[in-house]
A and B are shown apart, each in its own frame.
Chain A
Amino acid sequence: MDSHQLTALVVGDDRMLRIIHGKMLNSVGVKNQVVQNGKEAIHLHLSAQTFDLILIDMDMPIMNGIQAIKELRSLGICSIIVGVSARCMESHIQEFMEARLDDYFEKPLNIAKLTSFIHKI
């Protein structure tokens, strides 16, 4: 799939990371939208918007990444979901995978990792 056709949703409560990840996605030709938390991400999907890729911060307060992903999957959302987290111990990774994440990256993301991932989609 050509990267210029891809769309992405960036979900995160940290405004710096939202800006940085949004810009990184732009730089690899992925059109993207940005929301501040899991509830807004779910709301977008309930209003029939879909995305090829969802890049979600796993460490959000209120509704964390795992809760948001479980809810999105229960809505039948089949987008590729990639988590970004400061915590990448074995136990956390297992928890992410059980929530049906497709992949995860340690924060902060870098352009090389993102480019490599996008090219695999």
Chain B
Amino acid sequence: MDGMVPLQKQLLDYTASLFQEGYLDDQFNQLQELQDESNPDFVVEVVTLFFEDADRLLNELSKALVQESIDFRRLDAHVHQLKGSSSSIGAQRVQRVCISFRNCCQEQNIEGCLKSLQQVKHEYSLVKTKLETLFKMEEEVVAGRG
């Protein structure tokens, strides 16, 4: 019973840090508000969809940028989707990099696009790791209660 309190505090502190460091914004709170007893895994389910979408889109972006003739409209469309997905779960840093990525697509700036792709991959990797850690901590708190 006593072991629960440090775990819960750790979880609260960790969650707060994700917002303070800009990884997550209020949209993530919206998802948590929607989670209830009838759908206790709602946040994990939606975030898992985000991971699937992001993995697919980053793969498409990587392939598109090694083509001899780059289709910037298609590239922009993929980035637009990724921006939408990331904003839907509150992945703020990913969303922000997508905004500058879109500017590079619209300017047909290949170097800018390549740099942006690296940045978005980096930010996505960070937020994915942090969310996976968050969910693991939540599981441990729930297991501790049981």
Write the residues of chain A forming the contact surface with B, with a CB cutoff of 8 angstroms: 14-17, 19-20, 23-24, 27, 59, 61, 86, 107-108, 110-111
A14 to B46, CA, bound (A): 12
Q: How far is the CB of B141 from chain A (nearest CB, A)?
A: 23
Given contacts A24-B30, A110-B27, 19 further A-B contacts (CB under 8 A): A14-B85, A14-B88, A15-B49, A16-B53, A16-B88, A17-B88, A19-B45, A19-B46, A20-B46, A20-B88, A23-B34, A23-B39, A24-B34, A27-B34, A59-B80, A107-B84, A108-B88, A110-B26, A111-B30
Q: How far is the CB of B102 from chain A (nearest CB, A)?
A: 10
Pull 28 A–B residue pairs with CB atoms less than 8 Å apart, ordered by A: A14-B81, A14-B84, A14-B85, A16-B46, A16-B49, A16-B85, A16-B88, A16-B89, A17-B84, A19-B45, A19-B49, A20-B30, A20-B46, A23-B34, A23-B39, A23-B42, A27-B33, A27-B34, A61-B77, A86-B80, A86-B83, A86-B84, A107-B84, A108-B30, A110-B26, A110-B27, A111-B33, A111-B34
Main SS at interface, chain A: helix
User: For chains A and B in complex, what number of residue pairs have CB atoms within 8 angstroms?
Assistant: 49
Which residues does chain A contribute within 8 Å of B34, judged by CB atoms?
20, 23-24, 27, 111
Bits for B28-46, please: 1 = Cβ < 8 Å to A, else 0. Answer: 0011011000010010011
- Which positions 61-98 of chain B face chain A at CB distance < 8 Å? 77, 80-81, 83-85, 87-89
Which residues does chain B contribute within 8 Å of A24, judged by CB atoms?
30, 34
